[in-house]
Amino acid sequence: MSTPFDRLGPDLVTTDPDLVASYARDESALGVGSGLVGGAGPVAVVSPRSTADVAATLAIAHEHRVPVVVRGAGSGLSGAATAPDGSVVLSTRRLARVLEIDRGERLAVVQPGVVTGDLRTAVAEVGLFYPPDPGSVAFSTIGGNVATNAGGMCCVKYGVTGDFVLGLEVVLADGTITRTGRRTAKGVAGYDLTALLVGSEGTLGVITEITLRLLPAPGPARTLVATFPGLAAAGAAVAAVATAGLPLSMLEVMDRTTLDAVDRLTRMGLGEGGTPAAMLLAQCDDPAAALVLERMAVLCEAAGAVDVVSADDAAEGEALLEARRQALPALEQLGDWILDDVCVPRGRVVELLEGVERIAAAESLTIGVFGHAGDGNMHPTIVHDAADPASVAAAARAFDAITALALDLGGTITGEHGVGRLKRDWLARELDPGAMALSRALKDAVDPRGILNPGCVLPA
């Protein structure tokens, strides 16, 4: 089939149906009964080698009004890289170079296709630190992380991806190449176009270069793990830690369902003497880490912890963290899964966990919850049978109930995965009409022909 993109040449463009099909969807659960996928899909994949190639691709798309979906690793969980019928997929796989690391200015300039874990390794080799560590860090790309404003376990201390983006090179809808932001530590010249583009999920422009702020390498982290007989006790410990202002660099939680799944997968013995209702995992990379974690142990015990274990060295700390790292892999063993991503005020995490237990019971589903207790960002993971329409329907009801609960608790529908197509219809339940109209006005101003990832974030 011929497409207007053929003039970019066969090195950049493929229309091979099998290859194009393999670029059609991300890791979101959109296929699960949503009706949002299953059509003809994209018509071509373009894999540019340069910013000029991206500009040429967008100029053609603009001229012919072809939807453009940018794709990094395709590991997104919200359907932002699930491509509509008739679209072109723009892959960043060949834009994958670390262009510069400057130790004195503590910044890196990278192309969007660099795998985030590789970037972290590259800057660590010169004594610097790029904190954001989404669960997908080993395979997701920095471009995708910027497009979704990804988070991770570091956020309780270090913030999210957007907090490290100083500037961007971007190709606008009509193919115009522009730069936003700066290389300096501070700067307020004009509107914060960089912040507007971060988290815009490919709907406002195509990011072709990213200037990232880096930090000095932190000290070695110390680790503490505490288990609790009930959710309320774990919640009390989290509240006490927050109110005491302990400078933790990580504060994660797993519920009993998740712990059971991890124990089944790993045989770590988490369930000896009965699986605890919740486990907290904390790290501190502060010079006073030992003292900080001693204070945390006292607070956990006062809140009713069954068991508190501190790691004496990094290797033991890593071993303790392994349970957390296995949370999603372990839940994946139980069946098909939808990973949710709500965020509630820190003080209401327990109410969310209790609510999810009720929702799981009402729908007779297994829903494990793990997540970032320190900032209230939870990942309820709904296990179901995608081949059974009744199970799929129950999972969809549970997903909606959890998202609604998060809003009722004063939270947000997405803490770090993005709106994508999965939660597009939820956005208008979180934002008021003024903010929705403002968002739409911005989108229409920046992309008047509506070619940039239409149907993602906002309705097409």
Nearest to 415 by CA among 174, 78, 80, 142: 78
To a second copy, the closest distance from the beta carbon of 226 in angstroms equals: 19
Closer of 232 and 393 to a second copy (Cβ): 232
435 sits near a second copy (criterion: CB under 8 A)? yes
- Beta strands at 165-171 and 206-213: parallel, antiparallel or unpaired: antiparallel
Residues 283-342 that bind a second copy (CB under 8 A): 286-288, 291
Which of 136, 148, 227, 381 binds a second copy (CB under 8 A)? It is: 148
- In whole angstroms, the minimum distance from the beta carbon of 437 to a second copy comes to 8
* Options 31, 230, 271, 347; binder of a second copy; rule CB under 8 A: 347
Q: Rg (Cα) of the chain, in Å, rounded? A: 22
The DSSP annotation for 413-433 comes to S-SSS--TTTTHHHHHHHS-H
Q: How crowded is residue 445: how many other Cβ atoms within 10 Å of its Cβ?
A: 9
* Shortest distance, position 217 Cβ to a second copy, whole Å: 7
Q: Which is nearer to a second copy, 16 or 444 (CB)?
A: 444
Which position among 124, 243, 318, 460 is part of the footprint of a second copy (CB under 8 A)? 243
Please list, in sequence order, all residues whose beta carbon lies within 8 angstroms of the beta carbon of residue 387, skipping any fewer than 6 positions away.
none
* Binding residue for a second copy, selected from 9, 10, 190, 273, defined by CB under 8 A: 190
Q: Taking the complex as a whole, how short is the minimal distance between the CB of residue 150 and a second copy, in angstroms?
A: 8
Complex with a second copy: residue 71 or 346, whichever CB lies closer:
346
Determine, following the binding rule CB under 8 A, whether residue 40 of this chain makes contact with a second copy.
Answer: no
Closest by CA to 324, choosing from 223, 450, 440, 220, is 223
Task: Using CB under 8 A, pick the residue from 15, 51, 333, 439 that binds a second copy.
Answer: 439
List 104, 269, 273, 274, residue binding a second copy (CB under 8 A): 104
| Per-residue DSSP letter, 82 | P
Number of H-type helices and E-type strands within the chain: 15, 19
35 Cβ contact list (under 8 Å, min separation 6): none
Q: How many residues bind a second copy (CB under 8 A)?
A: 93
Among 148, 143, 181, 163, smallest CA distance to 54 is for 143
Give min distance, CB of 335 to a second copy, in A. Answer: 28
Q: What angle do CA 324, 117, 104 make, to 5 degrees?
A: 120
Residue number with CB closer to a second copy (196 or 319): 196
Number of residues in the chain:
460
Phi and psi for 228 in degrees, rounded to 5? Answer: -130, 145
* Cβ closest to a second copy, residue 361 vs residue 438: 438
CB nearer to a second copy: give 17 or 287: 287
247 binds a second copy (CB under 8 A): yes
The footprint of a second copy on residues 378-417 (CB under 8 A) is 410-417
Question: Is 265 a binder of a second copy (CB under 8 A)?
Answer: no
* 449 is a site residue for a second copy (CB under 8 A): no
| Shortest Å, Cβ 37 to a second copy | 22
Distance set, CA 303 to CA 226, 233, 307, 454 (Å): 11, 5, 11, 49
346 binds a second copy (CB under 8 A): yes
Quote the least distance from Cβ 86 to a second copy, whole Å. 25
Comparing CB distances to a second copy, the nearer of 105 and 354 is 105
> C-beta of 460: minimal distance to a second copy in Å?
15
User: Considering beta carbons, is residue 122 or 265 the nearer one to a second copy?
Assistant: 122
Are the beta carbons of 425 and 40 closer than 8 angstroms?
no
Among 176, 220, 302, 408, binds a second copy (CB under 8 A): 176
CA distances 101 to 126, 178, 217, Å, are 9, 22, 14
Q: Least distance in Å: CB of 79 to a second copy?
A: 14
- Residue range at the interface with a second copy (CB under 8 A); choices 13-21, 212-220, 269-277, 385-393: 212-220
Near a second copy by CB under 8 A: residue from 96, 427, 449, 450: 427
Nearest-angstrom CA–CA distance, 61 and 42: 13
Q: What's the distance, CA 14 to chain centroid?
A: 29
The number of beta carbons lying within 10 Å of the beta carbon of residue 71 is 28
Residue for token pair 């490919």: 202
CA distance 27 to 20: 16
Question: Candidates 81-89, 168-176, 254-262, 322-330 — which segment interacts with a second copy by CB under 8 A?
Answer: 168-176
Kindly state whether residue 93 participates in binding a second copy, applying the rule CB under 8 A. Answer: no
Is there binding between residue 100 and a second copy (CB under 8 A)?
Answer: no
For residues 191-210, which are near a second copy according to CB under 8 A? 191-193, 195-196, 198-200, 204
Judged by beta carbon, residue 48 or residue 376, the one nearer a second copy is 376
